Amino acid sequence: MDVCIRGAGIVGRTLALLLARERLRVGLVAPSTQAPAASRPDVRAYALNLASKNLLESLRCWPSAAAATPVLHMKVSEDLGGGVNFDAAQLGTEALTWIVDVPVLESQLADAVRFQPQIELLETPAPAALTVVCEGKASSTRAEFGVDFEVTPYAQHAIAARIACEKPHEQVARQWFAQGEVLAFLPLGGAAGNSVAIVWSVSPEHAAKLLQLSPEDFCLELQATSQHCLGQLMLASERAVWPLQKAQARQWTGRTAAGAWALAGDAAHNVHPLAGQGLNMGLADVSELARLIRERDYWRSVGDDKLLRRYERSRKAGMLSMATATDGLQWMFSQHGGAWATLRNWGMNRVDRSGRLKQWMARQAMDF
């Protein structure tokens, strides 16, 4: 076996398909006890950027139009009425981002893996020249390899759910920042859809209260916070909750007596979901690792130290700039008090009016 991938989430499966395409023999550790069917379906939808779309399309795993809604406008608002609007046509782009139904993407990747003869599904890890750890934020292999994972908890939990709306979303993604909390509405169901996936990042106490509300009362709270922009709302799934943290592994690659290893995806880094970049970063990790493996000198092994050092250098740099920007936004919006709110309000309106700065900000977010 050339490469053993531990963890069959979206990042692990994508890497398995990329390496199988290079005719490498891949083992993918996917214990049957952790199969998605064994747990409840994910209610989330992810905002995926153009690089992620291109990558998944190249593997024939990009969902159909109904499950990957292009976002044409983005509206960001805050407490005092300040706001920034982004428009795909004005930026000369097909879409600002795509909102992808998570269970649909997961099942397309699982099917592609099943039909790829170069990939062997494993119940337990097997020896290989390179082990790639894609086990997510609570990775046990990362701990087994003795890697420090520096975790800074945000004092926030994210509630996610699917919501049916009275009015169509018109391909607009919306975000409201209020009193340090963030509510996002991500359009679902294709261009003519009238449902959204929500991510509501709130204090743990507020999360506990919101989860105890009846579906009707929860939707009344949502309607008020979203300023009734999509009319009457109805809960269309269960409510799921995630504690939020910023984290980074100190070391991303290394070697044990059994061979070389690398971390990718949430096993290497976690960011706040407000910028919708966690999976985009994980897919950029595996895209880069697969590229370095493909372009290596013919005499270098897939676990070559120089190759892995390059991977670590390049992806740590990409991760750091994204994590710093996301963390800065989270901090700025979590500051209470009149002066902060006034400054934010002024800043957002100013950005909205400044064509160049706005274009630059949108490009940063779109190209990561």
Ligand X SMILES: Cc1cc2nc3c(=O)[nH]c(=O)nc-3n(C[C@H](O)[C@H](O)[C@H](O)COP(=O)(O)OP(=O)(O)OC[C@H]3O[C@@H](n4cnc5c(N)ncnc54)[C@H](O)[C@@H]3O)c2cc1C
3-state SS record for 196-243? EEEEEEECHHHHHHHHHCCHHHHHHHHHHHCCCCCCCEEECCCCEEEE
Nearer to ligand X, 52 or 226 (CB): 52
The answer to whether 162 contacts ligand X (rule: CB under 6 A) is no
The answer to whether 273 contacts ligand X (rule: CB under 6 A) is yes
Exactly one of 3, 5, 11, 147 binds ligand X (CB under 6 A); that residue is 11
User: Torsion angle, CA of 6/8/10/13, rounded to 10 degrees?
Assistant: 80
The answer to whether 277 contacts ligand X (rule: CB under 6 A) is yes
Exactly one of 41, 136, 204, 318 binds ligand X (CB under 6 A); that residue is 136
The answer to whether 53 contacts ligand X (rule: CB under 6 A) is no
Nearer to ligand X, 206 or 341 (CB): 206
Nearer to ligand X, 102 or 341 (CB): 102
> Nearest-CA neighbor of 27 among 128, 140, 106?
128
Contact 207, 159 (CB under 8 A): yes
Question: CB of residue 131 vs ligand X: minimum separation in angstroms?
Answer: 11
Nearer to ligand X, 34 or 354 (CB): 34
The CA distance from 192 to 82, in Å, is 28
- Largest pairwise CA distance in the chain: 64
The answer to whether 106 contacts ligand X (rule: CB under 6 A) is no
What DSSP string describes 68-80? EEEE-EEEEEETT
Please choose, out of 131-139, 289-297, 314-322, 339-347, the segment that lies near ligand X by the rule CB under 6 A.
131-139
Question: CB of residue 69 vs ligand X: minimum separation in angstroms?
Answer: 12
The answer to whether 157 contacts ligand X (rule: CB under 6 A) is no
Exactly one of 265, 290, 292, 368 binds ligand X (CB under 6 A); that residue is 265
The answer to whether 134 contacts ligand X (rule: CB under 6 A) is yes
The answer to whether 145 contacts ligand X (rule: CB under 6 A) is no
Question: CB of residue 9 vs ligand X: minimum separation in angstroms?
Answer: 2
Contact 136, 84 (CB under 8 A): no
Number of residues that bind ligand X (CB under 6 A): 32
> Nearest-CA neighbor of 245 among 200, 278, 294, 198?
278
Nearer to ligand X, 36 or 83 (CB): 36
CA distances from 170 to 13, 28, 41, 71, 359 (A): 32, 40, 26, 9, 22
Torsion angles phi and psi, residue 126, rounded to 5: -125, 155
The answer to whether 101 contacts ligand X (rule: CB under 6 A) is no
Exactly one of 3, 4, 5, 8 binds ligand X (CB under 6 A); that residue is 8
The answer to whether 239 contacts ligand X (rule: CB under 6 A) is no
- 351 exposure class (CB count in 10 Å sphere: 0-12, 13-18, 19+): middle
Q: Under DSSP, is residue 261 helix (H, G, I), strand (E, B) or coil?
A: strand
Nearer to ligand X, 29 or 119 (CB): 29
The footprint of ligand X on residues 19-48 (CB under 6 A) is 29, 31, 34, 44, 46-47
The answer to whether 312 contacts ligand X (rule: CB under 6 A) is no
Helices (DSSP H) in 27-161: which residue ranges? 50-58, 102-114, 140-144
Q: How far is C-alpha 192 from the chain's CA centre?
A: 24
Question: CB of residue 39 vs ligand X: minimum separation in angstroms?
Answer: 8
The footprint of ligand X (CB under 6 A) covers: 6-12, 29, 31, 34, 44, 46-47, 134-136, 139-141, 158, 160, 199, 242, 265-266, 273, 276-280, 282
